[in-house]
Amino acid sequence: MRIVSISEDKNIEKRISITPEIAKKFLASGFEITLQENYGEHLGFKDNIYKDLGVKILQDEKLIFDGGDIITQVGLPSQEKLSHIKENQILVGSLNPYANNNLIKDLLKRKINLFSLELLPRITRAQSMDILSSQANLAGYKAVIESFANFEKAIPMMMTAAGTVPAAKVLVVGAGVAGLQAIATAKRMGAIVFATDVRMASKEQVESLGGKFLVVEGSENMETEGGYAKETSEDFKKKQEKLLEETLKKIDIVICTALIPGKKAPVIIHDKMIDKMQSGTIIYDLAAVQGGNTALTKVDEIIEKNGVKIMGERNILNKLPVSASSLFAKNIFNFVMNLYDDKDKKININLKDEIIEKTLIK
């Protein structure tokens, strides 16, 4: 079996799907690997490192795709590059089928097998393949670091002979994987942390990390069977707005992480809330690329209103590409090995396997 991968568009994606560590594992499992020239050089992984392991390096994308049974990528390649993929080949990655609907339809018409790992079910057996969790962990951590770097005051409480500097107050909106990591990181750096989420199951997790969970009066558990947040009622939204409006007046840094899979991000922080916030407050919006959790978020721009800075990047993981690639590549490896029938030495698309059935785009 042959696994291949070409370079991502480095202007928008610096992560890679096959690191030297994972290439070694695939080769030890009996796979052949072909990668594009300078595939990981921007991360310090020179071609010679791959070659010494037994990886084949080619320059031509068409030749690479022609020789592959399984293609692994971080994101969906461009339409031009996708034209080189042939019938019955397998493409595995974070394909974002909602945003790339037209390209996906074309690939399906051409009978290409597409596996998008953000569709993985939230079950124990899939945890080692879960790109949303592995990447969100890093995103939550980095969002806190970026916010603190732009905050013009100290984070922990400092007692000096000249007086006391109070600890910064941080609010995390959305206590999923990214939110929980943001809470843990902010606490480690000495901040006072508050958090809110529509899923009541998050309360215990937030408090175990030292955060204070803000409970909306009369709230119910807004969680899908798959463990994701679902859309709230209008009554809940009004109560949440009232609680947030009062809380935000005393907050220094806000980390927004609230997302609903496959839909536009919910707008949680409105104009009138921002108007009442303290000058110098930082809002970091991890939901920016899906529309943002604030009314003013713009991708890759810092918007300032009344002294409040609102930040949101297209891909914060481009600031941690080595760590992010290491985890992403391990997720890819574990997924491919679940597809691979070691006895018959071939790929088995077994639709009775929940992991395969849920991630296969139909």
**Going along the chain, which residue ranges are E strands?**
2-5, 32-36, 56-58, 70-72, 90-93, 113-116, 158-160, 163-165, 169-173, 192-196, 212-213, 253-256, 282-285, 301-305, 308-312, 340-341, 346-347
- Catalytic, 134? Answer no
- Catalytic, 122? Answer yes
Cβ-based neighbour number of residue 134 at 10 Å: 22
> Burial letters for 240-264: b for 16+ Cβ neighbours within 10 Å, e otherwise?
bbebbbebbeebbbbbbbbbbeeee
Identity of the amino acid at 359: T
The tokens describing 4, both together, are 């291949």
Catalytic residue among 78, 79, 83, 127: 127
Catalytic residue among 50, 130, 202, 285: 130
- Catalytic, 228? Answer yes
The tokens describing 279, both together, are 């000058």
**Would you say 306 and 272 are in contact if contact means Cβ atoms under 8 Å apart?**
no
- Catalytic, 341? Answer no
Cα–Cα distance between 86 and 322 in angstroms, integer? 31
Return the SS3 of 259: coil
The tokens describing 162, both together, are 């000249």
Catalytic residue among 122, 128, 278, 323: 122
- Catalytic, 127? Answer yes
Catalytic residue among 228, 278, 323, 353: 228
- Give me Rg for the CA atoms of the chain: 22
Cβ-based neighbour number of residue 30 at 10 Å: 10
Cα–Cα distance between 60 and 160 in angstroms, integer? 63
Cα–Cα distance between 73 and 18 in angstroms, integer? 8
Instruction: Name the residues annotated as catalytic.
Output: 122, 127, 130, 133, 228
